[in-house]
Amino acid sequence: MLRHTVRQGESIISLSQQYGVPVDKIWDHPDNRALRQRGRTKSILYPGDAVTIPDHETKEVQAATERRHRFSCRGRTTWLRLRFLDKGRPRHGEPYELHIGAQKFTGDLNGEGKLEVRLPADAEEGILLLGSPPRQETIRIRVGHLDPLDEDEGVRKRLQNLGLLAPGGDDSSGERLRSALRRFQKMQGLAATGALDDATRNKLIEVHGS
Amino acid sequence: MVWDRNLNWIVPLRRVVVTQRLTYEEAMRAWELALRLPEHKEKMCLWYGIAARDYDDACDTLLEWRYMMHYSGILYCAVETTATADASRHFWVRAWKGPLRVLQETAGGVSSLVPDLMTGEINDPDAEFLEGDIVEFPLFKFLVHCGKDGYEGLCFNPEGSPFLGNTVVDDAGDPPVAGQDLHDNMLAMRFQLLFNLGMAGFYHQAAVYQSGAGSGLLGEPGGTRVYARGMMYGAVLKVCVRPDIRNPNPSDPHWLVASYHWGRRNAEVVPTLDSYNRVLLPGQPLTPAWSCSPCTLTVMYILLDADRWGESAVNNEYDAGRLSQYRARRLTRCEILGADNPREASITVNLLPENPGAPEVDGVRQAPQRLGDLNVVCLYRHEQALLRIYPHCRLLDMGSAGTPPHTGCICVYNPATGRDYFDGVEGQTSMGQLWKFEASGAMHTEREPQRMGAGPHHWDRIEENIVRFVKTPGETRHGGGYHGIWYRAADPTASNLQDMQRFNHFIMFDLNEDALAGLYFPGKTYRPIVSGDYRLKVLSRQRLRRVRATDPDREYNDYKRLYAERAVPYLTLDEFIQATTPAGRSRSDYPPAQDLLAEITAAENPPAQSTAPATGQPAS
């Protein structure tokens, strides 16, 4: 058993792949209760979180000598689901080309403006070409880089995805974040307080999808 | 202010002329800060009915976009969940290249400004804007962020022109409807278009002469001094032109800026240096190809955006119902009626009585109306346009409370510098400065040779805004002409009619011939008796066409030579290269001008194009 300090981009799923321990065995480990209570999920951790990784389980297999045996280790894959909107409306039917590692996925966004692909669990970075030339957009996909909603950074990144907040820039006072929240609240018909109350939080999850 | 010193707001908070090179980020910053100025905020909130808090939030959105424009295209997500991206909240600008940029791009001095084909937006955050470029900020998007949902469906018109008020369209490509109004200054923009053309802004884009109609002008390469002059769309230019000259063709993709001398082959109308030197003082801005009547009428109707201008212009002018819908100050027509003796006829603009029956004062009959911003004065078969021009700051003060300046005042800027053309107008914010625009008489029948379009159009500053006209000594006949066509009797002669038809003008005359001696326009009942058979069709102003200048009376076999003889003060490519050649580099480091010309010519005339029929078909 070891304690793993989470880096940006890691999730329980990617740690499962990394350490060869089943997802549920990591997630359900009693030492990780605090993570669960703090609202972390198997998909979304925060840099600095400490995750207890149980030891490998030993599996014994009977095999005769003088014969060849084949053992396969199933590599874990995971779903990546992305949704693209234009002024709040799905961009359905637009062609996409997703490059992650050596893999390439192509298709059209579905009626909800979504694409769904299965990726290796440790995938972290990809390039998405969306649309057709000459209006093709290039989007960098940062898999596992979405932070928990309980952290300011998690709120920021969701608002950034929704085009309401820019990455970078000085916001030590948090005013830009409050302003972006206020605009989000107005767009969603909520009370424009600039605070992440429960209603806003739920709406953000609903609109963003996570 | 420091932050907008490189910009000149030709339409406040919406459209600028770049006066000094600046980056995209600087332009966006200037827009944001201009929006945040309290006085601007106050006006915007008033005009568009925006709550102050919503306005501030929209400014914050813009601020975020300024940060975001370099980072857009990153999507944070987590596996096994959904992440949603909505990148539609951007504020990319629309831009039009200025003449300097065109030259520089030709010479390879700057990276090309590449607009999005579908929207015309410049979505390269590293782009730079140069002097003379025109940039329009997406004000309609800002308004959406202010909670004005009515602007939601608008976008930039990739074929729109800042001069024509059609830079923004809805999703279907149609002009914005009521409820989607954007403040503009169409009057100023239209005037600017005329002015630029008058300044011999013969902007040339590669495709202009690609069509068959222009192929005859290409000929063999000639001058090598001037190549491209930038982009100029003119959808509002039309002058009376006889249709049997070789150009007019309904399928011709170009709008015609024709100069036509009927009856006499002169060569002074195409705005070349040669023609300028011959007809006017050096440095005086000209608008060739206009006679007084088409000039004044067209100016009026273009500026007012009056319905069907140029076709039934005279008729329209007297149709109060048509013009009354425009907010521009009343179009006033004054006919200065003189006595037998020559003398100076004076009008003190701001002291004019509004009573149409005002008596003569010191032998000078006063004009019946107060002079407006647009005026036509008819002086013995010769007409002049009196235009009141304001400095730019007037645009911010235009209109009553809650009324954006869609029309209403004329401001003029130099597209190359973005500054006022005229000096000393800063103090004229409220009163403006009157200028007289005038073209030589053209359509009258008494003087030979008849000249239409042969005369230059020039302008003068009217000192102290007091208009004075000097009657020709011995001139006793007056009031018998209209729009330059003088008629001798109630029944025009065949010659009269022919003249009139050619110019598609109605003759209006008073039913009571005896009343002419004391006639004021308007004020009587008129009856049209003639309409033009050669009426030029009013082409849709929505369809932008490139401008082609032609002079059927002069053998310009090579349009480049025409450019080479230009009179505009812009640098030629050679001059530009010389002026910008850095120390340590010689002229030979750059490709010879002839080579560039050959490349351009080749690009303009690919083999497939060269086989096009000479009769001309629309360019694709």
Q: Do B86 and A86 touch (CB under 8 A)?
A: yes
Return the number of other C-beta atoms located less than 10 Å from residue A45's C-beta: 28
Report pLDDT for B364.
44
> Which of A141, A155, A170 is the mutation pick for testing B, counting most B CBs within 10 A?
A141
- Residue whose entry in the numeric block shows the structure tokens 């521009």: B328
Asked whether residue B180 carries a pLDDT value surpassing 80, the answer given is: no
Q: Binning pLDDT at 50, 70 and 90, where does residue B531 land?
A: very low
Q: Closest to B67 (Cβ–Cβ): which among A84, A168, A208?
A: A168
- Check B60 against A146: CB less than 8 A apart: no
Instruction: Give the Cα separation of B406 and B430 in Å (integer).
Output: 18
Percent share of chain B, pLDDT over 90: 5
Across B305-309, B315-319, B518-522, which has the greatest mean pLDDT? B305-309
Mean of pLDDT over chain A:
86
Q: Smallest Cβ distance to A83: which of B76, B84, B147? A: B84
Å from B159 to nearest chain A CA? 17
Residues in chain B with CB shorter than 8 Å from the CB of A168 are: 67, 71
Average of per-residue pLDDT across B471-493: 38
Would you say residue B595 has pLDDT above 60? Answer: no
Contact B77 A141 (CB under 8 A): yes
Q: What is the ipTM of this complex?
A: 0.89
From B54, which residue of chain A is nearest by alpha-carbon distance? A183
B74, pLDDT greater than 70 = yes
Tell me the chain A residues in contact with residue B145 when contact means C-beta distances shorter than 8 Å.
Answer: 183
Position B331 scores a pLDDT of: 40
Choose among B66, B73, B81: nearest Cβ to A81: B81
What is the pLDDT averaged over residues A176-194? 87
Instruction: Please report the pLDDT score of residue B376 as a whole number.
Output: 58
Is the pLDDT confidence value at A20 over 80? Answer: yes
| Contact residues, chain A, for B66 at CB < 8 Å | 166
B405 has pLDDT over 50: no
Q: Rg of chain B's alpha carbons, rounded to an integer?
A: 26
d(CA B75, CA B81): 13
Residue pLDDT, tens place only, B363-378: 444 443 345 566 655 5
Contact B132, B18 (CB under 8 A): yes
Q: A115 CA to chain B: closest CA distance, Å?
A: 10
> Is the Cβ pair B84, A161 closer than 8 Å?
yes
Q: A24 pLDDT band (50/70/90 cuts)?
A: confident
Given a contact cutoff of 8 angstroms between Cβ atoms, the answer to whether B134 and B415 are in contact is yes
| Sign of the alpha-carbon dihedral angle for A61, A65, A67, A73 | positive
Do B385 and B376 contact (CB within 8 A), yes or no? yes
* Contact yes or no for B57 and A78 at CB 8 A: no
Residue B269: pLDDT band (50, 70, 90) is: very low
In the block, tokens 């010191």 appear at: B362
Give the whole-angstrom CA distance, residue A94 versus residue B409. 46
Cβ-Cβ contacts under 8 Å, B84 against chain A: 82-85, 161-162, 207-209
Q: Cβ contacts (< 8 Å) between B76 and chain A: which residues?
A: 142, 145-147, 157-158, 160-161
Lowest mean per-residue pLDDT among A156-160, A199-203, B367-371: B367-371
The count of C-alpha atoms lying within 13 angstroms of the C-alpha of A62, restricted to the half-sphere facing its C-beta, is 0
**pLDDT at residue A7 is higher than 60:** yes
Average pLDDT over residues A82-111: 88
Pair B45, B52: CB distance under 8 Å: yes
d(CA B105, CA A182): 44
Query: Any idea which of B35-39, B63-67, B276-280, B529-533 has the lowest mean pLDDT?
Result: B529-533
Q: How many Å lie between the alpha carbon of B59 and the closest alpha carbon of chain A? A: 10
What distances in angstroms separate CA B183 from CA B96, B167, B389, B404, one per listed residue? 19, 12, 19, 5
Q: Is the pLDDT of residue A16 over 50?
A: yes
When pLDDT is cut at 50, 70 and 90, the band that residue B19 belongs to is confident
- Per-residue confidence band for B119, with pLDDT thresholds at 50, 70 and 90: confident
Sign of CA dihedral B106, B112, B118, B119: negative
Best to test chain A binding among B77, B144, B149 (most A CBs inside 10 Å): B77
B43-47, B213-217, B274-278: range with lowest mean pLDDT: B213-217
- How close is the nearest chain B Cα to the Cα of A63, in Å? 37
Q: Can you give the pLDDT at residue A139?
A: 86
Task: Name B324's Cβ contacts closer than 8 Å, sequence gap at least 6.
Answer: none
pLDDT of B168 > 50? The answer is yes
Q: Does A59 score more than 60 pLDDT?
A: yes
Inter-chain contact B78–A87, Cβ cutoff 8 Å? no
Encode pLDDT of B572-594 as tens digits: 444 444 544 444 433 344 334 34
Of A150 and B603, the one with more pLDDT: A150
**Which of the residues A24, A135, A203, A208 would you substitute to probe the B interface, choosing the one with the greatest number of B C-beta atoms within 10 Å?**
A208
Whether residue B112 has pLDDT greater than 50: yes
B458 vs B198: CA distance, rounded Å: 9
pLDDT at B467: 62
Say whether A186 and B152 touch across the interface (CB within 8 A).
no
- The pLDDT, as a whole number, for residue B296 is 56
Chain B residues in contact with A121 by the CB 8 A cut-off are 79
Q: What pLDDT, on the 0 to 100 scale, is given for residue B478?
A: 33
Strand ranges (E), B121-172: 121-122, 128-129, 134-136, 155-156, 168-169
Q: B317-346: per-residue pLDDT in tens?
A: 434 444 443 333 334 444 443 333 333 444
Contacts of A161 (CB under 8 A, 6+ apart): A208, B75, B76, B77, B83, B84, B85, B86
Query: Which candidate in B29, B74, B76 is best for mutational testing of the A interface (most A CBs within 10 A)?
Result: B76
Task: Output B251 or A181, whichever has higher pLDDT.
Answer: A181
Q: Is the peptide bond before A134 cis (omega within 30 degrees of 0)?
A: yes
The phi and psi torsions of B410 (rounded to 5 degrees) equal -110, 125
Question: Which two tokens mark A120?
Answer: 């290796």
pLDDT of B438: 58
Peptide bond into B405 cis (omega under 30): no
- Asked if residue B610 has pLDDT above 80, the reply is no
- The pLDDT of B386-403, averaged and rounded, is 59
Confidence at residue A186, expressed as pLDDT on a 0 to 100 scale: 84
In this complex, which of A164, A192, A209 lies closest to B83 when CB atoms are compared?
A209
pLDDT at B485: 35
What's the confidence (pLDDT) of residue A43? 87
A166 vs B68, B81, B84: nearest CB? B68
Chain A closest CA to B152's CA: distance in Å?
Answer: 9
- Residues B164 and B189: beta-carbon distance below 8 Å: yes
CA distance A21 to chain B (A): 18
Minimum-distance CB partner of A161 among B57, B76, B79: B76
What's the pLDDT band for B244 if we cut at 50, 70, 90? very low
List CB contacts (< 8 A) between A78 and chain B.
79-80
pLDDT value of residue B395? 63
- Chain B interface residues (partner A, CB cutoff 8 A): 53-54, 57, 60-61, 63-68, 71, 73-90, 116-118, 145, 147, 152
DSSP state of B378: E
Interface A-B: count of C-beta contacts within 8 A: 162
pLDDT, residue B109, reads: 64
Contact B85 A82 (CB under 8 A): yes
Query: Which chain B residues have a beta carbon less than 8 Å from that of A179?
Result: 57, 60
- Within 10 A of B335 (CB to CB), how many other CB atoms are there? 23
